[in-house]
Structure formats: structure tokens, C-alpha cells
Chains A and B, each alone.
Chain A
Amino acid sequence: MEVVITPAYNPILSNLDISEIKRYAGLHQNFGFSNTMLQKTCSQARILAVPKAIWQVYPYTTKTAAINAIPALTLQGASVRKHLSASVYTAVLAVTIGSILEDETTNYFTKGEYTKGLLLDAAGTTAVEAAADQAAKLIEHEAAKLGCQITKRFSPGYNDFKVTVQPDILALANAKEINVSATASAMLFPRKSITALIGFVPSGTIEVCQTNTCHSCNKINCLARKEI
């Protein structure tokens, strides 16, 4: 398969999952909390988020864990190698919702409206995840055309896949097109951004690894961590 530069895609956030907002805000799902406040936050996040995604698909060599771009990128870390162990291609994805929402979150804290700040931050996380899921749907379509299924997303920072790879991943995704960059400490800017690898696995040849992303994540104190 030839590598054709895929252009940016603007996902549509016509709804956000309130149960995900609750999870990211550290609220127990069955615990009563103002539904009005959650709904308002959900609407506000949809208004402030500017979702953008971009990805490129490269042939992948499992033996050397190499993404065959020019120059090739050899992936370090047993976890990511395992995740892509049946993949013949990998999509390199970058997604963001821009920085307007996070600026408003900071404003809320400055004004002493802490709860709104926390909930909006959680809604921002939900929004960027939803945008990434939509991009993954388009990637799945590309994979299906080749006779492949896709793996779940696997991001730098999961398990032993070090975040220091971010600059390389951003370059492979062509993330400058959507204005996502990494700081010297390999943090993404805007902060509500995601990068990930999605493997293309030949259909029916192997069960696609459905890695629990929380399980793979090093942030053991994350208040949104799913029960494992």
C-alpha cells in the first residue's frame, strides 16, 4: 500500500457521554449529582471544543517493531510491540479539541468556580476521546478496505511505551496540520490532545487485542481510572 498523505478531519461532537464526564470528574456513576450541571457542562464543552484529527497509515514490521516511514521509527517498549504484534500496518493518529476549553477551565478556577472547572475539564477529556473514536472509525474503514481489522488505540504513556516518543509520533501523524505540538518534556499542547497508534490486523487471522487502556496506563492515581 502506498503512503498517501491523509488530510485533517474535523470530527462532529453532536453529543457527549455524560457517564464519561462523570467518570473523568471522579464521580461514582450511581451517585446523585446535579444532572442540570452535567448537561450544561456537556453543552458548553461542545461549544468550546474545536475537534480536529489527522492520521497517516504506514506499513509496520512486527519483527523489528518498525513503522516504515522515511525515516523508519522503531518502537521501544514491550507493551506497544505486543499490542501491534499481529499488525501489518499502523495508523499514527493525533487528535485535539484546541485550547479554548482548557483556558475556560482555568478561568473557572481563577473565579472560584471550582466545580465547573473540574467538570469542564472532564468534559474536555470526554470530547477529545470522542473525537479520537470518530477518527478511529474512519481509520477502521481504511483498514477494512485492505481486509484488516483495527486494534484499539495505544498511546505514548501507556505501560512502558514512553511519552518521550511524542515528537516522533506527532511528526508521523503530520500533527502540525492541526496545530498539536509537544513540549520539551514531551507533553502535548494543547493539553486536551491525544496521539495513538492503531494497528491493522488481517481480518480473522488473530483475535484483536482489546487492551484495557486504564490497565496499560501508568497514572495509577488517576481519579478516572476504571476498575480492573
Chain B
Amino acid sequence: MIHVFDGAMGTMLQAAGLPAGYCPEQWNIEQPEKVIAVHRAYVLSGADIIETNTFGANRIKLSHYGLSAKVAELNTAAVQAAKKACGPTTKIAGSVSSTGKLVKPLGELDFDTAYDVYLEQITALSKAGVDFIIIETMIDIQEMRAALLAAKAATNKPIICQLSYGADGRTLTGTDPKTAAIILEAMGANIIGANCSLGPAQMLPIVKELASSTTLPISIQPNAGMPELIDGKTLFPMTPAEMGSWAEKLIAAGATYVGGCCGTTPKHIANIKKACENKRPAAREMIRLHTAITSRSKTIYLGKDFPTTIIGERINPTGRKALAADIREGHFIKVKQEAIAQLEAGASILDVNMGVPGIDQTAAMQKAIEELSTLVDAPLAIDTTDPAALEAGLKAYPGRALINSVSAEPERLESFLPLAKKYGAAILCLPIAPGGVPATAEERVAIIKEITAKAITQGMRPQDFVLDALVMTVAANSAAAKETLHTLKLYREQFGYPSTMGLSNISYGLPRRDLLNSAFCAMSIASGLDAPILNPYDKTMQDILAAAAVINGHDASGKNYSIRYAPANDTETVTRTASSKPADIFAAIRQTVLHGEKEAVVPLIRQALAEGHSSVEITEEALTAAMNEIGKDFGTGRVFLPQVLLAAETMRAAFQTIKEVLPNQKSDKLGTVILATVKGDIHDLGKNIVAALMENNGFEIIDLGKDVDAATIVKEAAAHNASIVGLCALMTTTLPQIDHTIAALKAAGSKASIIVGGAVLTEEYAKQAGANAYAPDGVAAVNKAKELLGKA
């Protein structure tokens, strides 16, 4: 049957006189008759389920009104009020919603605190006798997870989980309906749906997506259209009749629980009821539930119907000192680098192992999961043998993780399976039993049967399993590879669950491991391997996987393969048009500077010096000439700042090489330049660019940094007998410091020419401030300096 929910509560209470800014839940105690009247109106209009007036009755929300100590009282009173309005068959759903704070990693609220807050409220609702718990209007899947876990702990009543989606079909924090359904169904939600934010038209595709992603009933409670603010009041435009007609469409799409959210009234509900009368639930297409791993915003399916999925193995500190140090010291920079690099190399799931000896692995796993879940959208596998670290990781993860791994060892089964069930994770089943590592495929199958049977008794489902085929070293046992391949075939035949394995163990102790690994990978895929755990940086392996995708029909028409391997125009770096072969060594050096090839310039400089050219010759004929040319090209818009800086880096490498070869030779400088960002200004990028360009154009640079007061600039200019003082200001608030500094330099009798620049400066301003020149950019600064010193 179709179940009809009630409509909005808050607007009805406001219509009944609830003052703006007053806590709606307080009326459960102070004016219960008004709350009852709203419920009764909905019951009379045909609602089968009414929601308690407890939307914000959690400790955190109530604290805004100084009512955080009254959670139990307000929730209990709300249920009593609802009971008084019920008809003989009316059911009551205890309404639960956001704390208003974001849970880590999107906010600062601890998961455990959120859980406790929800546990308190839902316990009170359950004790007071609700029939359902409805967790609604959630925008963050992590907060939903905390509330759902609390609900599972607090009650045996059915739990409805409704997120709010935007017009783009995702929650504001990026979760799509399919991903939400997979996460919440695995965690034990009984009914899944959506409410608020959108009208019924926008919710229709969400119902359809949910229907194709879960076998659970679907509940839907749209707003009465999109709100409008008219004369200071938020109004919803959809009429009750329109709402009724939309209800039919929502039911046809698969919803079996239909009600209303903001702007809906008893009249809207009456129309929904009318539309539902004599309606049977739509026949839902039988969907096959595949094994899926998700992040907050992305679902990856595993199995024979899907492309081979790479599980990246590189976030593992075993035998890797730098990564271990990064984790031990709490930086997690290298962990993040490995995450991004593996995804760029083709991994779809990232294995996360924090096994650094002597550290708090629980804290490290929590931090790693929090950091990675905000950095990448790939699902994660939590790789640990420590139950505490596992729970910390599962708790922190706003998705459905893969647990790596669950063996048949009793302590592992006892500690890991309940955690997997509780947090809705998938498990990687490892066929290792107390007797040791099984040698044959048949023994492995037997152990897998034991693990999965035990898991099912704990409430896990077939789509929660990924089977490891176990890879032993072929150098130690020549039958090892064949046994693994046989295991994969038996897994496919007897279970059909997706398979995985740590592939590179096969080649341990042998040369050209990449070759063996790749060949083994190809053979394993043919035998049924779905998700190898491997090093995704391995080029040969990438080639094999790309080819296998075509052969297995997972790369339609070889499209991705063609993109990857068909000859393409190389867009890499050509900063300037390649010129013909240089005429002489100076031309060759000029070309490397113009192309920004700092590695290439070093041997050329050495060659030029070895051929007997003086450093002055090299500087004037090659280096300076090239910089002049690139400066001109910048001025005419043929090249841009990054290319100019690459050229400057090449100049720097060239000058450093000259110094290395001729350490005693003094180079003549064009002049000494004092550079500073003026007092009060903390921006220095522009000044740094000017310093880089001037230094590599032959000036001696004294860089005083940023936020430099006039007195220091005057003093340093005198001390270094500066020929040029370059001053920079970026903000209007620090412009007066330009005037002040110039005045101070002049008052001190400085003979230095003054060049000014910075985003807010202009030629006119420079003139009125008494500067000798204005430079709008770094290249201009070099040219102006040369002009002022007569060296242009």
C-alpha cells in the first residue's frame, strides 16, 4: 500500500501563533493543544503517518534557546501530543534532523558527539512510543551516518533516512541518491528517501535513481514548489491539486511513502491522499545488487560486469621510510601526494594502511581517512589488523569503505565482522585460517565459505563480499601462480562475488618484476580477477590493463585505448615555436633560455667556456640577448609571465654554472637594486617576480622583503650605495607608504633612482609621488632600470 505522510509543521504552528524566533518544540510542553490541533488536521486530511514536533529537538539545536537540558521532556511531550491526535490506524514517526553543525571532516563537530546527541533524542522518542524514526532534511551524509547509527543503537523501530538534494541531483555536500542508497542500506536503514529543498517535479528523477539503486521502500516529501519571499513572508506556490497530481507520478516512479515538506498544508495532504487511493505500489524493476564501494560522492561497482578496478596499494608505509616519517610526524603530505598520483595513474580505489611501528595507529587512521576523504573522491579501503584503527577509520569515513581484510582467524572474525556490519562496509575475505596459508584452491574456497557464512550470520549480505585469491611467490613455489589462477576460476564459478588480490607478491625475488606482474595480471583477469591491488605507477601494468579492458569489452570500440595510444599532437610545453638547429653555441644557449630549458643550458655553458669563450661574451652574446628578446615578446603579448620566469630560471642555472666553472671570476653587475614591499603591505609575489627578473638580468639584488618601513629602506639604500630602489604596494591602504618612503629617501639625500609598481599604482601616481619611473610589470621594471642607469 501507499503510505501518506503529513505535511509541514513549522508553518502551521506559526499560523497558530508561534512567534518568530521562538522554539517550536517548546510548544510541546507549553501549548500542546496547538500541536495536537495541527496533527489532528493532518489525520483528518488522510495522513497515515504523522511526524512529531521534534525536528530540532536535539541538544545542540535546543541550546540556542537555552533548552538543551530538556531533550527527553520535549521529545516525550511531542510523542504524547501526536498520540492524542491519532486515529485508530495512524502511525507516529519521530522526527529527527540536523544539529545545525557540520560533522568532521566538513565541519568541526566530532562524529562521536553527533552520535551522542542523536542517541539522546532518539532514545527519548523510542521510549515514548513512536512507530518509526525519520531522520530527515539532512545535507551531509556523515551527519546522516551518525544519526542512523544512533537510531540503530536506540531502537528496533523502522528507520527512515531522507536527505535533501539540490537541483543538480546531489546534496549540497556532493552525495548523489545512488551513493546515499548504497551507504544507508548497508548500514541498516529500512526506508530511504528525500525531502525538502525541491518541489515534486525536481524530486521525480531522485525517486527514479533511488528505485534503480536499492530494493528498500522509498519515501518522498517534497516542498509545495520552490519558495518565494513576498512581503517578508516565505510562500510556496504549489496548489493542493497540483501536489496531488505530482503524487501520482512519484508513486509511479517507485515511491511508497509520500507526504509533504515546507509549504504543504492539510489540503495538500488531502490531495495526496486522494491521488493515492486505490493505488498499488509501482512494480519495481528487479535490480541485481552488485558489490559497491563508495566515497561521499562516488560509487565504484566491482565484479565481472564492470571494468577491472585498480586498488592502489601505495599508501602503505611498509619499507618506505619517507612515507613512514610523514605519517609519524603527522604531516600526511606524502600520503596525500600518493593519493592524487595513484588516481592520476588509473587507480579507482585507494588502499590506506597506517602500519608505522610505534605510532598511535587509531589516531593516524582517523586523520588519514579525514584528510583523504576531503581531498579525493575515490572510495577507500581501510587496511589494518587493528580493530581500534579499523573502527576509527570506518567512523571517520563518509562513505562505504572496503575492509582489508577479514581472514578466518577467530579473533579477526569476532572483531571485524561486527564493525563491518555496523558501519556498512564491504569486506575483503582473505582465505587464511588458523592452520596457516592454504596451498590449494579448494582449501581457499573452503575457508571463504567459512568466512562468508559467518558474515551472513552477522547480518551481512552477498553484495558485501570481495574475495582474495591469495598470491604466493612463484620463485619459492612454481605452482603458486597456477593455484591462484585456479582459485580465481573457482571463486567465479562457486560464488560470483568480485575478486581481488595483492598481485605483485608473485614476482618477489625475481628480476624484471614489472614484466612478471603484468603477465600475471593479464592471466588473472582472464581467470576472473576483478579488482587487483597493485602499484598503479607501473607502466607495463597500465598497458596490460588498457588492453584487457578492450579485450573484455569494457572499453567500447576501444575508445579509451585509442585516446591513450593513438599518435597525438604533443602539446607538452612548447613555450615557443621550435626553431631550426642553432647556428653556433651562443645561438644554442639563446634558444635554451627562450625555451626555458634550464637543464639543457648547463652543458651548453660548460661547452662554451671549454671552447674558450669568456663569461662576458656568453652573458652578452647569449644570455642577455635572449632575455632582451623574451622581454620584447612579453611586451608584445607573444609570451606570458610563466615563460618569462622559466627563462629567468634558465638564466639563473647558466650564471650558477659560470660561477661553478670560474669560481674566482667576479661578474660585473649593472647596478645594485634595493627591493621592498612597503610598510603595512604583506604581499610579495610581484616583488619576488621583479627580484627574479632583475637578478637574472645582471643586477645585484638586495631584497628587504615585505612590510618594510621607510627608515629601513633609507638605511639599506645608503649602506649598499644603491643605484635603484624598487618599491611595491598592492593595496590602496598602503599607497601612502610609497609617498612616505620616497619622501624619506629624498630627505636623506639618496641618489638612487626610484621605481614603483604594484597592482593599485599608476603612472600618474608614480609621478606625483616623486618616483623616477613606474613599472607595471617585472619585465618593464628591468627595462626601466636599465634606462635609468643608461644601460638599455
Which 7 pairs from chain A and chain B are nearest by CB?
A147-B229, A185-B680, A147-B227, A202-B229, A34-B573, A219-B759, A114-B645
Contacts A118-B642, A118-B689; A147 near B733 (Cβ below 8 A): no
Given A8-B107, A36-B572, A114-B649, residue A13 in contact with residue B234 (CB < 8 A): no
- Residues in A with CB closer than 8 Å to B105 are 10
* A-chain residues with CB within 8 Å of residue B277 when the two chains form the complex: none
A7 cross-chain contacts in B, Cβ below 8 A: 100-102, 107-109
Residue A144 at the chain B interface, CB threshold 8 Å:
yes
Interface flags for B420-447 (1: CB within 8 Å of A; 0: not) read 0000000000000000000000000000
Q: Which of B80-88, B374-382, B501-509 contacts A (4 or more CB under 8 A)?
A: B374-382
- The interface stretch among B332-340, B488-496, B544-552, B782-790 is B332-340
Residues of B552-605 whose CB lies within 8 A of A: 571-575, 596
Interface of A is mostly: loop
Q: How far is the CA of A18 from the CA of B431 in the complex (A)?
A: 45
Q: Chain B residues with Cβ under 8 A from A189's Cβ?
A: 682
Q: Which residue of A lies closest to B596 (CB)?
A: A115
A80 at the interface (CB under 8 A from B): no
Q: Assuming the A-B contacts A33-B575, A145-B227, A189-B682, are A221 and B759 also in contact, with contact meaning beta carbons closer than 8 angstroms in the complex?
A: yes
* B314–chain A nearest beta-carbon distance, Å: 14
Q: How far is the CA of A18 from the CA of B336 in the complex (A)?
A: 19
Instruction: Report chain A residues within 8 Å CB of B648.
Output: 114
Tell yes or no: A81 within 8 A of B by CB: no
CB-CB under 8 A from A221, the residues of chain B are 758-761, 776-777
The distance in angstroms between the C-alpha atoms of A148 and B234, with both chains bound, is 9
- Please tell me which one of the listed residues A35, A162, A164, A223 contacts residue B571 in the complex, with CB atoms under 8 A apart: A35
Say yes or no: is B21 at the interface (Cβ < 8 Å to chain A): yes
The answer, yes or no, to whether B20 is at the interface (CB within 8 Å) is yes
Cβ proximity bits B726-748 to A, threshold 8 Å, 1 near / 0 not: 00001111100000000000000
Q: Known interface pairs A185-B733, A202-B229, A203-B229. Does A218 touch B760 (Cβ–Cβ under 8 Å)? A: yes
Q: Apart from A1-B20, A13-B375, what 8 extra A-B contacts exist at CB < 8 Å? A: A25-B640, A33-B575, A34-B575, A46-B340, A47-B337, A145-B227, A183-B682, A203-B228
Q: How far is the CA of A154 from the CA of B453 in the complex (A)?
A: 60
Which residues of chain A from 172 to 227 have any CB-CB distance to chain B below 8 Å in the complex? Answer: 183-187, 189, 191, 202-205, 218-223
CA distance A109 to B21 in the complex (A): 53
Q: How far is the CB of B705 from chain A (nearest CB, A)?
A: 10
B239 to chain A, nearest CB (A): 17
Instruction: Contact check, A106 vs B680: say whether CB atoms are below 8 A apart.
Output: no
Verify if B226 is at the interface (C-beta below 8 Å from A): yes
Q: Is the beta-carbon distance between B681 and A141 smaller than 8 angstroms?
A: no
Residues of B within 8 A of A28 (CB): 637, 640
Q: Mark B220-240, 1 if CB is under 8 A from A, else 0.
A: 000000111110101100000
Bound CA–CA A35/B108 (angstroms): 36
Is A73 in contact with chain B by the CB < 8 A criterion?
no
Q: Which of chain A's residues have a CB closer than 8 A to the CB of B166?
A: 137, 141
CA distance A189 to B682 in the complex (A): 9
Q: Which residues of B contact A157 (CB under 8 A)?
A: 731-732
How long is the Cα–Cα vector from A167 to B235 in the complex, in angstroms? Answer: 36
CB within 8 A of A32: which of B227, B228, B571?
Answer: B571
Asked if A113 and B649 sit within 8 Å, CB to CB, the answer is yes
**Chain B's interface: helix, strand, loop or mixed, by majority?**
loop
B229–A146 contact, CB under 8 A? yes
Contacts of A112 in B (CB 8 A): 649, 652, 692
Q: A14 and B108 in contact (CB under 8 A), knowing A145-B234, A185-B734, A221-B761?
A: no
A residues apposed to B, CB below 8 Å: 1-2, 4, 7-10, 12-14, 25-28, 31-37, 39, 43, 46-48, 88, 105-106, 109, 112-115, 117-119, 121, 137-138, 141, 144-148, 157, 162-164, 183-187, 189, 191, 202-205, 218-223
Docked CA distance A176–B234 (Å): 32
Question: Which A residues are CB-close (under 8 A) to B374?
Answer: 10, 12-14
From known contacts A14-B376, A39-B344, infer whether A222 and B107 are also in contact, taking CB-CB under 8 Å.
Answer: no
Question: Can you name the residue of chain B whose Cβ is closest to the Cβ of A12?
Answer: B374
Contact of B733 among A88, A109, A113, A186 (CB under 8 A): A186
B230-A202 in contact (CB<8A): yes
Within the assembled complex, what's the spacing in Å between the Cα atoms of A2 and B691? Answer: 52
Nearest-neighbor residue (CB-CB) of B336 within chain A: A47
Q: Does residue B281 face the partner (Cβ distance < 8 Å to A)?
A: no
CA distance in complex: A228, B296 (Å): 39
Partner of B688, one of A47, A106, A222: A106
Is B671 among interface residues, defined by CB-CB distance under 8 A? no
In the bound complex, do residue A33 and residue B375 qualify as a contact, i.e. CB atoms below 8 Å apart?
no
The 10 sampled A-B contact pairs (Cβ below 8 Å) are A8-B108, A14-B377, A35-B572, A36-B573, A46-B375, A106-B688, A146-B234, A187-B680, A187-B733, A218-B760
Determine how close the nearest CB of chain B comes to the CB of A115; give it in whole angstroms.
4
Q: Please state if A25 and B641 are interface contacts (CB–CB under 8 Å).
A: yes
Residues of the B chain whose Cβ atoms lie less than 8 Å from the Cβ of A114: 645-646, 648-649, 688-689, 692
B524 located at the interface, meaning its Cβ lies under 8 Å from any Cβ of chain A in the complex: no
Give the contacting residue for B107; candidates A2, A9, A36, A141; CB below 8 A.
A9
A21 and B331 CA atoms in complex are apart in Å by: 25
A1 to B682, CA, bound (A): 39
Q: Which partner residue on chain A sits nearest B373 by CB separation?
A: A12
Which B residues are in CB contact (< 8 Å) with A32? 571, 573-575
CB–CB A43/B683 < 8 A? no
- Given A117-B688, A137-B172, A141-B197, are A223 and B680 also a contact pair (CB < 8 Å)? no
**Any A CB within 8 A of the CB of B106:** yes
- In the complex, A141 Cα to B98 Cα: how many Å? 15
State the CA gap A170–B258 with chains docked (Å): 44
Min C-beta distance of A44 to chain B, whole Å:
8
Q: Give bound CA distance, A178 to B174, whole Å.
A: 22
Report which residue of A112, A184, A204, A205 has the largest number of chain B beta carbons within 10 angstroms of its beta carbon: A112
Contact with A along B659-688 (1 / 0, CB 8 A): 000000000000000000000111111001
Candidates A4, A144, A187, A203; contact of B681 at CB < 8 Å:
A187
In the bound complex, what is the Cα–Cα distance between A35 and B568 (angstroms)? 14
Interface membership of B318, Cβ < 8 A: no
For B100, list chain A residues within 8 Å (CB). 4, 7
Please give me the residue from chain B that is nearest to A42 by CB atom: B340
Q: Which one of B64, B232, B642, B680 contacts A33 once the chains associate, using CB atoms below 8 Å?
A: B642
Q: What chain B residues lie within 8 Å of A146 (beta carbons)?
A: 227, 229, 234
Q: Which residue of the partner chain B has the closest CB to A178?
A: B108
Cβ of B733: which chain A residues have Cβ within 8 Å of it?
Answer: 163-164, 185-187
Whether A115 lies near B234 (C-beta < 8 A) is: no
Contact between B228 and A202 (Cβ–Cβ < 8 Å)? yes
A2 B734 Cβ-Cβ under 8 A: no
CA distance A106 to B677 in the complex (A): 14
| B628 close to chain A: CB less than 8 A | no
B375: A residues at CB distance < 8 A: 12-14, 46-47
Contact of B21 among A2, A105, A121 (CB under 8 A): A2
Q: Is B480 an interface residue (CB 8 A)?
A: no
Report the Cα distance A9→B106, complex, angstroms: 6
Which residue of the partner chain A has the closest CB to B733? Answer: A185
Which residue in B235, B336, B641, B760 is a CB contact (below 8 Å) of A27? B641
Q: Which of B108, B337, B681, B761 has the most CB of A within 10 A?
A: B108
In the bound complex, residues from chain B placing their C-beta under 8 Å from that of A34 are 572-573, 575
CB distance A147 to B688 under 8 Å?
no
Do the beta carbons of B337 and A43 come within 8 Å of each other? yes
* With A121-B685, A146-B234 as contacts: A115 and B645 at CB distance below 8 Å: yes
Report the nearest B residue to A122, measured CB to CB: B642
Confirm or deny: B341 has a beta carbon within 8 angstroms of a beta carbon on chain A. yes
Q: Does B643 contact A (CB under 8 A)?
A: yes
Contacting pair B640 A26 (CB below 8 A): yes
A62 shortest CB reach to chain B, Å: 13
Return A192 CB to nearest CB of chain B, in Å: 11
Say yes or no: A31-B640 contact (C-beta < 8 A), given A9-B107, A141-B172, A223-B777: yes
Closest to B223 in A: A145
Q: Which residues of A contact B689 (CB under 8 A)?
A: 114, 118
Q: How far is the CA of A186 from the CA of B681 in the complex (A)?
A: 9
